[in-house]
Each structure stands twice: as C-alpha cells, then as structure tokens.
Amino acid sequence: MLLRSNLGRSLRTLAALVRLEAMTMANYRWWLVAMQAAGLIVPMVSLLAWRGAIAAGAQAPVTGEYLTTYLVAVSLVTLVTSSWTSGFLADSIRLGTLNGWLVRPCSTHLAAVANNLGEKLAKLVVLAPMVVLVAVVFRSSLDLTSDATTWALFLLALALGGVMAFALDVVVGSLAFWLEDVSGIDRFRAIAIRLLSGAIVPLAALPATWQPFLDAQPFRYLVAFPLEVLLSGADDDGTRVGLFWQAGWTAVLVGVAVLVWRRGLGRYQGGGSMIRVWLALLRQAVMRDLQFRSQAWLNLAAGLAELGVGLVPVLVLESYASDSSGLSTGSGVLIVAFYGIAAGVVDCFVAPGLRRFDVTLRRGEARPRPAATRVDLRHRHPALDAATRARGSSLRGSRCSVISLPRRWCPSVRSGSWLPSCG
C-alpha cells in the first residue's frame, strides 16, 4: 500500500512538472520554430543530395523509397529519442543545487524526466507539421505501411530508444561526482550518437564490412533501428532480433546509470574527520587542475572529430556516385571544411554570448518592463546625478519616455526598461 501511495504521488508530481515544462517552453515559440527548422534542414539537404545522385546514376545500397522515407522521418525519431540531461545534472552536482531534490520525497531525476517529456511535447507540436509538409512534397516516394503491428513495434522501439538515451545521459552527468567538467566527454558522446545512430546517414548505406559492428553497438537502437522497424515490418526476422538487442542494451544502460548514480551519491554525501576532509580537498584541487588541462585537449579532439563526422556523409555519398553525377570528393571536403571553420568562429565568438543571454532570461534576471515603469536614473551615470543636484531637482519617479538626455546616456536609459532594478 505504501509503495502504491509513493508511486501515485510521484506520477502526480511528474504530470504537474510536465505541464509546467510544456507551458514554459510555449513562451519560447519563435526559438522552438527556429530550432526545429534547423534540425530539419540537415536531413532535407541529405535527401536532395541522395535523390540527385541516384537520378544521375549512383548505385545506392538501398532503394530510393527507403532513403526518402528514412530521411523524412529521421528528424522526428531523433527528437523523440534525444536527451539533454547530462549538462544540467552535472551543474546541479557541481553547484550543490542537487541538495534541494535529495530532501524531497520523490526521485531526484523526476524534474529531468519532466523537462525531457514536456520539452519534447512542445517541440513535436512545432516539428510535426513541418515533417508532414515535407512528406506531402515527397509523397510519391514514401514507403509507409498501414500494418498496426508494425506501428506498435515502432512506438515500442521509440520508447526504448528514449529510455536508452536518458540513461546514457544520467551516466555522463553523474561523472560530475568525480570530475569537475564533463563537457568534453559529453561532446564525444554526442559525436558518437550522430555518427553511429544513423542520425546523419542511414547505417544501411555504410560499407558492408561495418555492418556486424553497427548491428551490435548500442547507438544504432536510438535512431536507425526504430526506422528500420517501420520500413522492414513486423514480420521481418531482423525486427524481432533487434528488439531483443534493444531491450538488452536498455537494461544494461539503466543498470549502469543506477550503479554510477548510487556510487556517486555515496561520495557526494560522504563525510569524515577533519584530516580526511583536508586530504579530500587537497586531492580535489590537484584533480581539478589536471582535469582543466585535459578538458582543453578533449575539446580540441572533439572539434576535430566533429569535422571528421561532417565528412562521413560526403564520403559515403561519393562512394556510390558515378563520375557523371557531378559530385567531387575534393569539393565536398572543401565545403565541410568551410562549414567547420564558420561553425567554430560562431561557437567561439557568438555562442557564448547567446548562452549567457539565454541563462539570464531563464533565471528571470532580465525581463521586459512596460515603457511607463518608474525608475531611479540618478545612479545610471555620475554626471547625470551631478546635473540633477545642480538644478535642485531629482529624476526619481520620472518616466523613461519623457526624459530628455544626451545621446551618450540613451543606451543606459533604454536598458533600464529591461532590468529588474535600475537603482
């Protein structure tokens, strides 16, 4: 009875948190549209490139209908089976905000699950119409079944893939119990998923000598396998064998996540004498310095690996294209190189500011205020304060829209309408 009561309370809490996360994401409507459109561009470019190569005489290892259906649906499958918990979990461990969940009568991962489900629901509402529109454009080349059993197995594979991705995220995030920074490891995890899950190129299009490894490795069951179930059907022997493999990998990853989390939690809660605490702090300081140095090399290696992953679709497509298709390995490598350089410049000089701005908005530290908000402008500029004292008056309580100020003070005044406190 107690177990049933705790389960019911957790489910009610989860449902409330999912509603809250979905409502929160609804406030970022244009961001959602931009993100989902950007995620749809890559498979659409791949689809057009493959169709153009096949039309020019390329001998693809799968049919054109298979490629079209796969690349039209891959963005939806990637979204449903994705997870982004590791960074938030690592930050909560490192900054100590995990403590607030440890004292609550429910799982510490409940908020992460709710965020995952709520954000996926909001993104699906935006992404699904885009995918439907693309499917209508290529409807003559789609190969979708009407068999209910196949669709049921497809949904089961999607659910297991989502659990696998979340468990892997918990494993990576829990490494923050031992490491100061897990961003390098997280980048390599993301690269491995992009390359080995079938998110950027169908695994069936990779060389035949790779297939035994690709069939056995766990990342296949995040994206490629659910789509293979949909395209192959419920009666295919590979579908039944693949479901057993997927269930096995799910059990393994969930078990590893539970083990790593419990071991790390014991370390997180551990205490002892002052000598043990001092030795632990000394060891932590030494490890922190070593980890920061290693993280720089890890991020450099991850950047080079991302460039290599970007070359994989080009090389795979070129290996099946004929000389008359107009495709060139050199031009493809050059395009990927320029793209990598541009992405690196944006990541170094633009992305940090955008991330800080996003964090500021999410924390409520900067929010829009009405133009008629009363502010105290005396502390915005020392010269302004001196001028108001000289005139024997104060601008306290004045409205931003009626104050006449020199041009160099205008940005300061305009920012007052966006800050929680101007005084």
Tell me the three-class secondary structure of the chain, residue by residue.
CHHHHHHHHHHHHHHHHHHHHHHHHHCCHHHHHHHHHHHHHHHHHHHHHHHHHHHCCCCCCCCHHHHHHHHHHHHHHHHHCCCCHHHHHHHHHHHCCCHHHHCCCCCCCHHHHHHHHHHHHHHHHHHHHHHHHHHHHCHHHCCCCCCHHHHHHHHHHHHHHHHHHHHHHHHHHHHHHCCCCCHHHHHHHHHHHHHHCCCCCCHHHCCHHHHHHHHHCHHHHCCHHHHHHHHHCCCCHHHHHHHHHHHHHHHHHHHHHHHHHHHHHHHHHCCCCHHHHHHHHHHHHHHHHHHHHHHHHHHHHHHHHHHHHHHHHHHHHHHHCCHHHCCCHHHHHHHHHHHHHHHHHHHHHCHHHHHHHHHHHHCCCCCCCCCCCECCCCCCCHHHHHHHHHCCCCCCCCEHHHCCCCHHHHHHHHHHCCCCCCC
**Polymer length in residues for the chain:** 423
Backbone angles phi, psi at 225, to 5 degrees: -65, -45
Q: Residue 3: its pLDDT value, please?
A: 52
Domain locations along the chain: 2-288, 368-423
Q: Give dist(CA 155, CA 159) in Å, integer.
A: 6
Query: In the predicted model, is pLDDT for residue 397 greater than 70?
Result: no
Joined together, the tokens standing for residue 145 give 């079944």
Query: In the predicted model, is pLDDT for residue 246 greater than 90?
Result: yes
Query: In the predicted model, is pLDDT for residue 200 greater than 80?
Result: yes
Q: Residue 343: its pLDDT value, please?
A: 66
Q: Residue 150: its pLDDT value, please?
A: 92
Neighbours of 312 (CB within 10 A): 15
Mean pLDDT along residues 199-227: 89
Q: Residue 257: its pLDDT value, please?
A: 94
Query: In the predicted model, is pLDDT for residue 404 greater than 50?
Result: no
Identify residue 320 by its one-letter amino acid code: Y
CA torsion, ordered 109, 113, 115, 120, to nearest 10 deg: 160
Neighbours of 69 (CB within 10 A): 21
Joined together, the tokens standing for residue 309 give 């992953």
Q: Residue 288: its pLDDT value, please?
A: 65
- The residue that leads in pLDDT, 53 or 10, is 53
Mean pLDDT along residues 193-200: 88
Joined together, the tokens standing for residue 404 give 């006449």
Mean pLDDT along residues 98-111: 79
Query: In the predicted model, is pLDDT for residue 338 greater than 70?
Result: no
Q: Residue 58: its pLDDT value, please?
A: 74
Q: Residue 354: its pLDDT value, please?
A: 66
| Residue 180: closest CA among 302, 266, 290 | 290
Query: In the predicted model, is pLDDT for residue 379 greater than 70?
Result: no
| Residue 69: closest CA among 171, 8, 138, 22 | 138
Q: Give dist(CA 403, CA 417) in Å, integer.
A: 13
State the Rg of the chain over Cα: 27
Mean pLDDT along residues 381-405: 43
Q: Give dist(CA 229, CA 247) in Å, integer.
A: 14
Q: What angle do CA 32, 35, 39 make, to 5 degrees?
A: 135
What confidence category does residue 250 fall into, taking pLDDT thresholds of 50, 70 and 90?
Answer: very high
Mean pLDDT in the chain? 75
What confidence category does residue 274 fall into, taking pLDDT thresholds of 50, 70 and 90?
Answer: low
Mean pLDDT along residues 223-230: 92
Identify residue 180 by its one-letter amino acid code: E
CB of 53 closer than 8 Å to CB of 321 = yes
Q: Give dist(CA 344, CA 382) in Å, integer.
A: 41
Query: In the predicted model, is pLDDT for residue 408 greater than 60?
Result: no
What confidence category does residue 116 fall into, taking pLDDT thresholds of 50, 70 and 90?
Answer: confident
| Residue 257: closest CA among 52, 89, 42 | 89
